[in-house]
Structure 1
């Protein structure tokens, strides 16, 4: 019996270690950027360096997995918001706050500078995140609760800017300010719109670099 159960136990332990490494890497990359110490990531994850390298051959592999994990979590937040909130704007608002908690503004430069966004796993995760974002916005606009002169690109740009660390502030805890400013953003997105926006609504395609 011991031989029969040993393999599943080892697999479960390995899965937990991998999840801890990814979670710790996300924190460290947000705080210190893409050149953050892998030793520090292993320490925060509570694993040895050998365990980290057994799961991720190099820094790029770890950054790639952090990217996929963050996008998958954002998609999960979107589905939970739609299922649990009383109306489409409440679902949209919950999604915006949850996505901001993932610190996409801090992670975006890291991802764009170190990995190819067109790698299949990343491209698939990004496409799914794009779809749920656009669906949330379209539902709220169709219900007359979200102003119609904004697009998914506008929302993503605003969230990225609000969650990007401020130059010169080091590790200052800006979380309370981010939440306040996100709420100001959401209040400005409610319909009816109090003013006309200059230009046109930005789509996610507008944010995609062109070759």
Structure 2
């Protein structure tokens, strides 16, 4: 009997799969920006227009708004984890790694996205829960390194950091967003300065974890 051979995948099929992947990524990226600008009720037609695809293409990838928002949620979390891992691996100074992550997390627009997404995604979704665990681990690793180096105050946890980043990067209600990024970076730097050790004050209450924050929502 001749040896079994692998079935070759036609080049056209490979190309079609690659095109489908690119379209899916464009749709998620466009939805992310549209949600920030227009809120969770943004028309899906607008998402398709921004992604440069037809409505039929959008609905082939995402059957409804809930599934699209779920994928945006997972994408934002995965990108945040990657930001944390890269900062930890590439920055030799512990506090520099923390600072880099904080500013890059702000660039992900999590301050605007988190309030929108938290109202509509399922916190019991196994994929979402897995991403939350990965975020906890990756951000904890950055903070623990800075604390071990004596550069970061020891009375805070991941939840404290992410609450501050989320609040400081969220536009104020009723204000124009033009030029808001300039204030975000300024206020984040003030916040980071307050995290340095030795601490100049005693914080009330206990340090917060991501799990505790989710339980309180």
TM range (shorter): over 0.9
Match of 2:31 among 25, 30, 47: 25
**Aligned match of 1:45:** 51
Equivalent residue of 2:82, what SS?
A: helix
2: CA distance, partners of 1:18 / 1:32? 20
**Aligned match of 1:79:** 85
CA deviations on 1:27-86 (whole Å, 9 max, x unpaired) are 000111110111111111111111111110000000000010111111111111111112
Match of 1:152 among 155, 158, 181: 158
2: CA distance, partners of 1:20 / 1:101? 18
The answer on 1:127 being equivalent to 2:133 is yes
Q: RMSD value over aligned CA atoms?
A: 1.5
Bigger shift: residues 149-158 or 191-200 = 191-200
1:166 shift after superposition: 1.3
1:206 shift after superposition: 2.6
- What TM-score do the two structures reach when normalised by structure 1? 0.94
CA deviations on 1:60-118 (whole Å, 9 max, x unpaired) are 00000001011111111111111111211111111111111111121122222112111
Gaps of 5+ in 1: none
1: CA distance, partners of 2:170 / 2:113? 8
1: CA distance, partners of 2:128 / 2:207? 26
Give the length in aligned residue pairs.
209
1:205 shift after superposition: 2.9
Compare CA radii of gyration and give the structure with the larger one.
Answer: 2
Match of 1:138 among 125, 144, 151: 144
Gaps of 5+ in 2: 1-8
1:196 shift after superposition: 2.0
